């Protein structure tokens, strides 16, 4: 039988180079039994199994390096994301009708299509990563979990993102827009419940001009000067961002969605641009907001290379907040048939992001709670430190459906807060009444 090379990212390619202890004693870091029955034996050596062990060792070293330096190369991030197990087969994509061009990356023949990433079932090093992430977070934020009162002010949007349930082309969406009085009364109720941050989130609804938003921000800040106001209202001009900041808005959330330009264009129609998204994030930072970026885990067409770019972007941009959650398809979108992202990979990435940028405010998102009943608890146990209960009026909650089966659409605000409070206590954490600003350790570059 011919000896097969064991090709590894560490550069070790021959069985002779395998650590002596594994060859001579059959030492097995994972236990005494091989994981699968397809291994090949030669001279008593399970080469595939040893290759797995070497990969696992490589990943452990990368985790150590990340925890110590908060930085990896793109290639190292890719290896960390792929983990020690095998990469899945290529996924077949259908391209949204309005985004078909012959050069479109999702239009390529299958053999040229980008590789997709593992589902995470085989992610054995997640606990190692999570343990380090939790230790780092505890050092900075202790056992506290910050809450943000989420007010979904409008589900009207001029954009048509392929993944979004409230995109303008969705004729089945029952549209609503909250009045200024309704928004302010949600904040008043939230204040009584102990919230000290209000997140005003909505589609890109032209009704919310600077004038309207400035009135709302000022009113909330007048009533509750000890509170922070976060906006999540999409792409706007520099002048608009500046005016809203001067009116009192403290933070701005704008997910970058993907740090790969080509991938960005596969998730959005042609009139939306990656460059403009990046322009917005840079300007928000320049103006003085605490800025949040973020992305969906498992979005259609996403590869380990794309995720590596996301992590490198986070490493360089050092956002104050970072919202990541699994992609969940919505039945009335072009991505209705795409598979959802996984809980495992989302938690794995939460841990990595905590190690990249230790002070980052990292929510355990509602999407995480939607794909698993204990998803938010698991997110916190992976390194997250923020939850965002809903303060929107119950009458509109089930209309803000960015994806299918979203949870927490029926409860009153007090119930939402109480539910999350007991969920956090059940895992040894506590919700706090605090603005929950990012801790500036070491200052920004
Ligand atoms: S993701 Fe945001 S910008 Fe895109 S359609 Fe949905 S609400 Fe509008």
pLDDT in tens, 364-422: 999 999 999 999 999 999 999 999 999 999 899 889 999 988 888 877 878 888 999 99
The pLDDT value given to residue 398: 86
Q: Of 107-121, 364-378, 430-444, give the lowest mean pLDDT range.
A: 107-121
CB atoms within 10 A of CB 393: 18
**Across 320-346, average pLDDT:** 96
**Across 314-336, average pLDDT:** 97
The pLDDT value given to residue 416: 86
The pLDDT value given to residue 197: 97
pLDDT in tens, 259-279: 999 999 999 999 999 999 999
Helix (H) or strand (E) holding 294: strand 290-297
**Ligand 1 binding pocket includes 57 (Cβ within 6 Å):** no
The pLDDT value given to residue 163: 97
For ligand 1, atom 5, the nearest C-alpha belongs to 167
In degrees and rounded to multiples of 5, residue 197 shows phi and psi of: -135, 135
pLDDT in tens, 136-184: 999 999 999 999 999 999 999 999 999 999 999 999 999 999 999 999 9
pLDDT, averaged across the chain: 84
| Whether 157 contacts 443, CB under 8 Å | no
Residue 57: which of 16, 15, 22 has the closest Cα?
A: 22
Distance CA 157, CA 340 (A): 23
**Ligand 1 binding pocket includes 330 (Cβ within 6 Å):** no
pLDDT tier for residue 2 given thresholds of 50, 70 and 90? very low
Length of the chain: 445
In degrees and rounded to multiples of 5, residue 362 shows phi and psi of: -125, 105
Distances 379 to 291, 323, 383 between C-alpha atoms, Å? 21, 12, 7
**Ligand 1 binding pocket includes 157 (Cβ within 6 Å):** yes
pLDDT tier for residue 108 given thresholds of 50, 70 and 90? very low
For ligand 1, atom 3, the nearest C-alpha belongs to 159
Q: Ligand 1 centre and the CA of 438: distance in Å?
A: 26
For ligand 1, atom 7, the nearest C-alpha belongs to 203
The pLDDT value given to residue 112: 38
pLDDT tier for residue 238 given thresholds of 50, 70 and 90? very high
The pLDDT value given to residue 175: 98
**Ligand 1 binding pocket includes 153 (Cβ within 6 Å):** no
Q: Which domains does the chain have, with CATH numbers?
A: 126-432 (3.20.20.70)
Q: Ligand 1 centre and the CA of 9: distance in Å?
A: 39
């Amino acid at each position: 039988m011919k000896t097969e090379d064991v090709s590894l990212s560490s550069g070790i390619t021959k069985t002779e180079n395998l650590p002596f202890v594994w060859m001579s004693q059959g030492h097995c870091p994972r236990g005494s039994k091989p994981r699968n029955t397809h291994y090949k034996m030669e001279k008593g050596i399970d080469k595939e199994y040893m290759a797995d062990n070497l990969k696992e060792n490589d990943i452990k070293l990368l985790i150590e390096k990340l925890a110590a330096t908060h930085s990896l190369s793109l290639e190292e991030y890719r290896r960390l994301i792929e983990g020690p197990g095998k990469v899945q087969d290529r996924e077949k994509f259908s391209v949204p009708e309005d985004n078909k061009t012959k050069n479109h990356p999702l239009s390529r023949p299958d053999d040229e299509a980008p590789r997709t990433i593992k589902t995470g079932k085989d992610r054995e090093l997640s606990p190692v990563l999570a343990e380090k992430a939790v230790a780092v977070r505890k050092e900075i934020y202790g056992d506290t979990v910050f809450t943000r009162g989420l007010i979904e002010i409008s589900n009207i949007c001029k954009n048509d993102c392929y993944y979004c349930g409230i995109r303008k082309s969705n004729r089945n969406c029952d549209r609503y827009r909250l009045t200024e009085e309704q928004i302010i009364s949600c904040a008043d109720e939230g204040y009584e419940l102990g919230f000290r941050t209000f997140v005003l989130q909505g589609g890109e609804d032209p009704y919310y001009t600077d004038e309207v938003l400035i009135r709302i921000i000022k009113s909330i800040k007048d009533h509750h000067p000890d509170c922070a106001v976060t906006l999540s209202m999409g792409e706007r001009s520099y002048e608009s961002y500046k005016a809203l900041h001067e009116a009192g808005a403290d933070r701005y959330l704008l997910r970058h969605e993907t740090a790969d330009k080509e991938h960005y264009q596969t998730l959005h129609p042609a009139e939306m641009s990656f460059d403009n998204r990046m322009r917005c994030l840079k300007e928000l930072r320049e103006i003085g907001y605490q800025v949040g970026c973020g992305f969906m885990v498992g979005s259609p067409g996403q590869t380990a290379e794309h995720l590596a770019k996301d992590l490198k972007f986070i490493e360089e941009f050092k956002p104050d907040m970072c919202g990541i959650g699994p992609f969940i398809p919505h039945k009335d979108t072009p991505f209705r048939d795409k598979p959802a992202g996984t809980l495992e990979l989302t938690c794995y990435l939460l841990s990595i992001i905590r190690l990249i940028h230790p002070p980052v405010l990292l929510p355990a998102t509602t999407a995480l709670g939607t794909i698993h009943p204990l998803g938010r608890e698991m997110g916190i146990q992976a390194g997250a430190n923020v939850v965002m209960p809903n303060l929107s009026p119950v009458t509109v909650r089930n209309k803000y459906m960015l994806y299918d089966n979203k949870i927490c659409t029926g409860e009153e605000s007090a119930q939402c807060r109480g539910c999350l409070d007991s969920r956090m206590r059940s895992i040894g954490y506590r919700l706090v009444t605090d603005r929950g600003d990012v801790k500036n350790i070491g200052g920004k570059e």
